[in-house]
Structure 1
Amino acid sequence: MSLPYLEEFGWQPHILTVQPDAVEGVKDPLLEKTVPQHIPVTHTGALSIQQTRKFGLGSLGLRSFPQLLQAGNRLLQQQKFDLVYFSTTIFTSMVLGAIWYRRFGIPYVLDFQDPWLSDYYQKSNTARPPGGRFKYEFSQLQAKLLEPIALKSVSHVISVSPAYPQILQQRYPQLRSEQFTVLPFGAPESDFASLPGLEVQQKIFNPHDGKRHWVYVGRGGDDMALALRALFLSIQCDRRQNPQAWQSIRLHFIGTSYAPKGLAVKTVEPIAQELGVADLVTEHPERIPYFEALKILTDSNAILLIGSNDSTYTASKLYPCILARKPILAVFHYQSSVVEILQKCQAGESVTFNSDSQPENLLVEMTNAVQKLLDLPNTYIPETNWSTFKPYTAKEMTRKQCQIFDQCLAT
Structure 2
Amino acid sequence: MTHRVLIISPHFPPINAADHQRVRMSLPYFKEFGWKPHILTVRPEFIEGVNDSLLAKTIPQHIPVTYTKALPFQYTKHLGIGSLGLRCFPYLLQAGDRLLSQTKFDLIYFSTTVFITMALGARWYRRFNIPYVLDFQDPWLSDYYEKSGLSPPGGRLKYKFSQLQAEILEPIAVSNVNHIISVSPEYPKTLQQRYKHLKAEQFTVLPFGAPESDFEQLPSLNIQQQIFNPKDGKRHWVYVGAVGNIMSFALRVLFLGIQSQRRQNPEVWESIKLHFVGTSYASDHRAVKTVEPIAKELGVADLVEEYPYRIPYFEALQTLIDSDAILLIGSDDPGYTASKLYPCILAKKPILAIFHQQSSVIKILNKCRAGRAITFTSGNQPGDLLNQITAELNWFLSLQKGYQPETDWSAFKAYTAKEMTRQQCCIFDLSLN
Cα deviation, 1:127-185, whole Å, max 9, x if unaligned, reads: 21111111111111110010001000111000000000000000111011100000010
- Cα distance, 1:363 vs structure 2: 0.4
Q: Of 331, 346, 352, which residue of structure 2 is paired with 1:308?
A: 331
Superposed CA RMSD in Å reads 0.8
Taking the aligned partners of 1:26 and 1:261, their CA distance within structure 2 comes to 9
Gaps of 5+ in 1: none
Question: In the alignment, what sits opposite 2:21?
Answer: none
Q: Of 130, 142, 146, which residue of structure 2 is paired with 1:106?
A: 130
Which 4+ runs in 1 deviate beyond 4 A?
none
Residue 245 of structure 1: SS of its match in structure 2? helix
Question: In the alignment, what sits opposite 1:368?
Answer: 391
Q: Of 48, 56, 67, which residue of structure 2 is paired with 1:43?
A: 67
Residue 390 of structure 1: SS of its match in structure 2? helix
Question: In the alignment, what sits opposite 2:10?
Answer: none
Question: In the alignment, what sits opposite 2:259?
Answer: 236
Taking the aligned partners of 2:35 and 2:224, their CA distance within structure 1 comes to 35
TM-score calculated relative to the size of structure 2: 0.93
Taking the aligned partners of 1:132 and 1:200, their CA distance within structure 2 comes to 35
> Which letter does structure 2 place at the counterpart of 1:23?
I
- Cα distance, 1:122 vs structure 2: 0.6
Matched, 1:61 2:85: yes
- Cα distance, 1:207 vs structure 2: 1.0
Once the two structures are superposed, the pairs formed by residues 93-172 of structure 1 within 5 Å of their partners are 93-125=117-149, 127-172=150-195
Residue 28 of structure 2: SS of its match in structure 1? coil
Taking the aligned partners of 2:271 and 2:362, their CA distance within structure 1 comes to 29
Taking the aligned partners of 2:315 and 2:154, their CA distance within structure 1 comes to 24
Taking the aligned partners of 1:274 and 1:392, their CA distance within structure 2 comes to 38
Residue 36 of structure 2: SS of its match in structure 1? coil
Once the two structures are superposed, the pairs formed by residues 12-27 of structure 1 within 5 Å of their partners are 12-27=36-51
Residue 43 of structure 1: SS of its match in structure 2? strand
Question: In the alignment, what sits opposite 1:348?
Answer: 371
Question: In the alignment, what sits opposite 2:20?
Answer: none
- Cα distance, 1:285 vs structure 2: 1.1
Name which of structure 1's ranges 70-79 and 155-164 shifts more when overlaid on structure 2.
70-79
- Cα distance, 1:265 vs structure 2: 1.6
Taking the aligned partners of 1:342 and 1:145, their CA distance within structure 2 comes to 37
Matched, 1:265 2:265: no
- Cα distance, 1:198 vs structure 2: 1.7
> Which letter does structure 2 place at the counterpart of 1:350?
A
Question: In the alignment, what sits opposite 2:343?
Answer: 320
Question: In the alignment, what sits opposite 1:73?
Answer: 97
> Which letter does structure 2 place at the counterpart of 1:324?
A
Residue 84 of structure 1: SS of its match in structure 2? strand
- Cα distance, 1:201 vs structure 2: 2.1
Matched, 1:405 2:405: no
Taking the aligned partners of 1:363 and 1:286, their CA distance within structure 2 comes to 31
Over the matched positions of the two proteins, sequence identity in percent amounts to 69
Taking the aligned partners of 1:400 and 1:231, their CA distance within structure 2 comes to 36
Residue 374 of structure 2: SS of its match in structure 1? strand
Residue 4 of structure 1: SS of its match in structure 2? helix
Question: In the alignment, what sits opposite 1:179?
Answer: 202
Once the two structures are superposed, the pairs formed by residues 289-300 of structure 1 within 5 Å of their partners are 289-300=312-323
Residue 14 of structure 1: SS of its match in structure 2? strand
> Which letter does structure 1 place at the counterpart of 2:338?
A
Cα deviation, 1:160-219, whole Å, max 9, x if unaligned, reads: 000000000001110111000000100010011111112222111111111111011111
Question: In the alignment, what sits opposite 2:274?
Answer: 251
Question: In the alignment, what sits opposite 2:243?
Answer: 220
Cα deviation, 1:313-338, whole Å, max 9, x if unaligned, reads: 11111111111110000000011111
Taking the aligned partners of 1:256 and 1:139, their CA distance within structure 2 comes to 22
- Cα distance, 1:351 vs structure 2: 0.4
Question: In the alignment, what sits opposite 2:111?
Answer: 87
- Cα distance, 1:256 vs structure 2: 1.2
Q: Of 4, 29, 34, which residue of structure 1 is paired with 2:53?
A: 29
- Cα distance, 1:260 vs structure 2: 3.1
Matched, 1:283 2:306: yes
Name which of structure 1's ranges 261-270 and 164-173 shifts more when overlaid on structure 2.
261-270
Question: In the alignment, what sits opposite 2:18?
Answer: none
Taking the aligned partners of 1:345 and 1:4, their CA distance within structure 2 comes to 25
Name which of structure 1's ranges 28-37 and 138-147 shifts more when overlaid on structure 2.
28-37
- Cα distance, 1:226 vs structure 2: 1.1
Taking the aligned partners of 2:242 and 2:384, their CA distance within structure 1 comes to 25
Residue 89 of structure 1: SS of its match in structure 2? coil
> Which letter does structure 2 place at the counterpart of 1:60?
L
> Which letter does structure 2 place at the counterpart of 1:317?
K
Q: Of 29, 38, 42, which residue of structure 2 is paired with 1:5?
A: 29
TM-score calculated relative to the size of structure 1: 0.98
Taking the aligned partners of 1:129 and 1:120, their CA distance within structure 2 comes to 9
Residue 152 of structure 1: SS of its match in structure 2? coil
Matched, 1:358 2:353: no
Residue 12 of structure 1: SS of its match in structure 2? strand
> Which letter does structure 2 place at the counterpart of 1:384?
T
How many residues get paired?
409
- Cα distance, 1:231 vs structure 2: 0.5
Residue 76 of structure 2: SS of its match in structure 1? helix
Cα deviation, 1:249-300, whole Å, max 9, x if unaligned, reads: 1001111111231111211101100111100001111122211111111111
- Cα distance, 1:27 vs structure 2: 2.1
Question: In the alignment, what sits opposite 2:4?
Answer: none
